[in-house]
A = this chain, B = another copy of it.
């Protein structure tokens, strides 16, 4: 904290103009319609811009252009159950993708749907954002209707789980295809008795993944009766559910799990039984969360291509922002199986000692 030495004030378009000996509108033209300038003035102006480090003030362009170049996204309280690393990976991807298109992401905390809508209301009425990216769609989701009614541009990461009277753009990961791929992966490794550890019936995402497992098993002619268990998410729950199946007369030799936490639990149960994960019993999780690479052996998992989803969310949203009548697009992208030790017969259980 030395003496109050004045920092140079942030340059405005006028100071650049003075510096380049032109009127300030010419500077504006240099930046927004360079073809209107004579080449020599253009370079002169651009050099002045460079020298002063001028960047147009956001607030002024916002006011003038009636836009904010900001996208709203809800920050979830990940406090509760579940390792929601998906959210944070998606958030990073979304932020990068937005930035590449010259947009920023403004985050808002909201606890439930109503709370989130209140935030929409606030942000929209103040003109603080150009649009929203939604996530975590679910049945009876009031958010989409609210936004559609007010013609606020938005895109949803997460499909609609029921019919709506309006259309909107959304992207989603094909959970069904994910568990199909997981099941096929295990079958390709020689497994015939493949179990499924899922969430209780009623969750859209969970039911979708379960259906994929059933479909793949039916397709491959594999048994499923007595091989599926469902319970609340968690490592402990996964352990208990897996232990239950392993204790049966004809236990599964592989598990498709609805989440990585369940899968870690299953690995735990397998080892507790003295079996080797990967060699004796294979496991595959879902989401490819940090958990997957932090366990030993590393866990196979179904990975959602969040980066490309985020990018496409931004693309779709900006299309709508640029032209509110732009086409409504929806697409389901397929996740990919990331094969690691937990589903690899050559990969033994972790060593016992140090």
Contact = CB atoms under 8 A, between A and B. Distances in A.
Interface string A293-313: 111110000000000000000
A81 B293 contact: yes
Contact of A127 (B10, B96, B272): B10
Interface string A74-110: 0111111111110111011001100100001111110
Interface string A172-193: 0000000000000000000000
Contacts of A79: 89, 92
A352 B289 CA distance: 26
B78 A95 contact: no
Contact of A95 (B75, B268, B295): B75
B350 A58 contact: no
A136 to B, nearest CB: 14
Contacts of A73: 107
Contacts of A214: none
B104 A354 contact: no
A76 B96 CA distance: 11
Contacts of A81: 290, 293-294
Given A63-B60, A294-B83, A353-B243, A104 B95 contact: no
Total identical chains = 2
A1 interface: yes
B127 A236 contact: no
Contacts of A264: 235
Interface stretch (A31-39, A49-57, A153-161, A205-213): A49-57
Contacts of A87: 88
B91 A107 contact: yes
A262 B175 CA distance: 31
A70 interface: yes
A309 to B, nearest CB: 15
Contacts of A56: 126
Contacts of A70: 106
Contacts of A77: 89, 92
B83 A290 contact: yes
A243 B104 contact: no
Contacts of A236: 294-297, 350
B83 A127 contact: no
User: Which of A105, A109, A247 counts the most B-chain CB atoms under 10 A from its CB?
Assistant: A109
A220 to B, nearest CB: 26
Given A10-B125, A272-B352, A75 B92 contact: yes
30 contacts: A1-B166, A1-B167, A55-B125, A56-B126, A59-B68, A60-B63, A62-B62, A70-B106, A76-B92, A78-B85, A78-B89, A78-B92, A78-B290, A79-B92, A81-B294, A82-B294, A83-B290, A88-B91, A95-B108, A105-B108, A106-B107, A235-B291, A236-B295, A236-B297, A239-B296, A240-B296, A240-B350, A271-B272, A272-B352, A291-B291
Interface of A: 1, 7, 10, 53-60, 62-63, 66, 68, 70, 73, 75-85, 87-89, 91-92, 95-96, 99, 104-109, 122, 125-128, 150-151, 166-167, 229, 233-237, 239-241, 243-245, 247, 261, 264, 268, 271-272, 289-291, 293-297, 350-354
